[in-house]
Amino acid sequence: MSEYENMTVAELKELLKDAGLPVSGKKADLIARLEESETHDDHVEDEVVDEDDDDFDNYDDDDDWDDDDEEYIHVAKQKPVLDDARKAALEARSAQQKSQPKFRRQEWFRYRRLSRTGWRKPKGMQSSQRLNRKYRSPMARVGYGKIAAARDLHPSGFEEVLVHRPEDLDGIDPSVQAARVGGTVGGRKRVLIHERADELGIRVLNRRRGI
């Protein structure tokens, strides 16, 4: 006699709900459905155990479980040799950039396409922004210029030198200057420039991944 015979229909339906099975039918149908589910689960467990045993039997101690791929080694980016005056100039420029307002184009709040473009000087005779009214965005002026000692310097402190050929790297001082490859340089010549820069110990600011 099955253990399900002593259970009520409500209890049988709860078991069926937990197993994700239908709860319709008479008590005999519910019991048969539960017994069939148990038989199916036991069969699946036996198959899983057999497969695991086969995998363990086929395991060879000589198999190489070590990853042959080379481990990625992080290489820190090259830093320039800065004197105290240049360090102070970079810090002053950073502070100026934080306090500088964002220059927006005229009517940027009205047309979405204008909010995505850069700065344009307003030229209308009755332009509120050109007249520098308080409720309009500020205009780019000479007074917002950064400190002259840090002008044209990369944020890292390097002086940027534009190169288009590997020969252009010969006159660069690696301690204070870094190379920037021109946008019109092709892929093959770019590889040669990177190889030459590695030989001379020069940092390439716009170096691409994988090259």
pLDDT (tens digit per residue) in 88-112: 999 999 998 898 888 888 888 888 8
Report the predicted TM-score, pTM, of the whole model to 2 decimal places: 0.54
pLDDT given for residue 118 in this prediction: 86
Coil, helix or strand at residue 161? strand
* C-alpha separations of 78 from 75, 81, 97, 170, 176 in Å: 9, 10, 24, 18, 10
pLDDT by 10-residue block (mean), the chain, 211 residues = 73 80 79 78 52 50 50 72 90 90 88 87 91 85 88 90 94 92 93 92 87 65
Residue 112's pLDDT is 87
Cα 154 to chain center, whole Å? 22
In which region does residue 132 sit, left (phi positive, over 0), alpha (psi from -120 to 50) or beta (all else)? left
Q: Are 204 and 179 in contact (CB under 8 A)?
A: yes
